[in-house]
Amino acid sequence: MAMRMRTYGHRLRALLSNSLSKVEHQSQQLLVSSSPFHSFPTRSFASSNLSSHFESVGFIGLGNMGSRMANNLLKAGYKVTVHDVNCNVMKIYSDMGVSTKQTPFEVAEASEVVITMLPSSSHVLEVYNGPNGLLHGGSLRTPRLLIDSSTIDPQTSRKLSVSVSNCTLKDTKDNWESPLMLDAPVSGGVVAAEAGTLTFMAAKICNNLAVAVSMLGVSEALALGQSLGITASTLTKIFNCSSARCWSSDSYNPVPGVMPGVPSSRNYSGGFASKLMAKDLNLAAASAEEVGVKSPLTFLAQNIYAEICENGHESEDFSCVFHHYYSGKGEPN
């Protein structure tokens, strides 16, 4: 699977660059970069023919993240077809003149590339392997590339990869005879999704574990500082010019009133829901147990976010831990 991802990395880069991400290559791990849609080298296809492969994009899952990703694709000029189980969301896109479909299979029939952005492994399995799923019938007429940007467990990703590799393309051209799946979860949250600066990776569970732990650390330190008489703004400035600087302090600060444009500035709404962070920590904990790795901070973070959700804050951004767990206060006006 890793070899296939490297082989077809240029294709993913071409599709997503204009609207969604930047490219880096670290430790032979695929991330995504910016380059014009029609100007990159490939092994199997003439670059002059590539635009015909990647002009129509299907997008399934139009939540906080997916809707912004799909909107960027629309702004970039792609022909986008969408599906979501939320009828109200579908109506919004239909009223915008965007093609909407009632099933994932119909999206597949209308698209050369399909991107999924879904809440959990069960949702992804249903969209791919369900009765009206993307892989219905075992052969695909159009989509050559299936990109899952959901954060799910590695085992499900591997199962889906096998299912996709067992499919055949009804319409083969340019030596592309079988569909390809890329496991491409994203980092950057709603803010980056809207700005088109998401990073695509293949190690999202590890990334979100680190983000959860750093958010807890920053929140704990800021709450302690407030108790000692130091304002969060002052302490944040100190963090951001010293060794404590991190994304949770300089780009996604959890204290209301410190930083504009982040969820803490709007009552923790519109961000990465605590229930999703709890889900990702469950995946991290399960993975750690599976391979026998000591992960005490994983289990501590897992318990804290489970408590946040149990107390009714599951839909609030995960930075709300500062307020609801540590009892931190917003900056005075």
Instruction: Report d(CA 299, CA 322) in Å as an integer.
Output: 18
Tokens representing 297 are: 């901070």
Instruction: Report d(CA 208, CA 203) in Å as an integer.
Output: 9
Residues 6+ positions from 185 with CB-CB distance below 8 Å: 148, 149, 150, 151, 152, 200, 201, 202, 204
Choose, from 101, 204, 275, 279, the residue flagged as catalytic: 204
Residue 283 CA, distance from chain mean position: 15
170 included as an active-site residue = no
Residues 6+ positions from 213 with CB-CB distance below 8 Å: 297, 298, 301
| Cβ atoms within 10 Å of 63's Cβ, excluding its own | 17
Helix (H, G, I), strand (E, B) or coil at 254: coil
- The residues carrying an active-site annotation are 204
